[in-house]
Amino acid sequence: MTPCFFFAIINVKSLQRFFWRQTLSFLLIAALIVGLDQLTKYLAVQYLMPLPFGDLPLWKNVFHLTYTENYGAAFGLMEGARPFFLAITIIFVAVIIVYYFKNRKRTTRLFMLSLSFLVGGALGNFIDRLFQGYVVDFFYFKAINFAIFNVADMFVVIGGILLCACIIFGWDAKKPLPKDKPEEQEAAAGENGTGAESKAGEAPPVGGEEKIDS
């Protein structure tokens, strides 16, 4: 086995380990988001729902924890379209996962993070719709009467913002290593050739340096 072949095997294995770790990170982040979302919803059911009106003011008239059952999309939009949302979520998650596995070798970590946020948030609400028929929401900015939302909604929004930023600013793909332009390569080759010819044209000294009579 030649040294070059040996080092090539090492490089391939290193790349495989890197991409495997990156894929595990993608799946682990999404799974952690789903777990956090389901945990907070469980706590909301256990401790907020029994309260009067399901409401717990953390900052009175500004920010409350308010138990709500949402039969629509994120932030309470389009209520009553459960089959549609289930189908859309399956397609949405499948497209993201397929895209990631096809492009994981050239995507940046920030782009991967945005996709993980989107998948984790979408699956968090998907589980609620699938098994309960509604989504549990509980974050409520009462001061501005903003729609009540949950942890999954937060990660979907953050993931969407990161995804847009990556696309707009070009942070979605790794930049290739810089290569010399053809003109620069030709100029360098010309200089090397000229130098070699000049050295070849020089005649070697015969008999050493001439002595100058004083």
User: Minimal CA–CA distance to 125: which of 160, 80, 95, 90?
Assistant: 90
128 is a catalytic site residue: no
CB-count burial class (<10 Å; 0-12, 13-18, 19+) for 130: middle
Active-site residue among 37, 128, 137, 172? Answer: 137
Active-site residue among 153, 172, 180, 213? Answer: 153
172 is a catalytic site residue: no
Separation CA 214–CA 139 (nearest Å): 104
CB-count burial class (<10 Å; 0-12, 13-18, 19+) for 41: buried
Q: Which residues contact 48 (CB under 8 A, 6 or more apart)?
A: 54, 55, 56, 65, 66, 67, 138
Q: Compute how many other C-beta atoms are within 10 angstroms of the C-beta atom of residue 134.
A: 15
**Residues noted as catalytic:** 137, 153
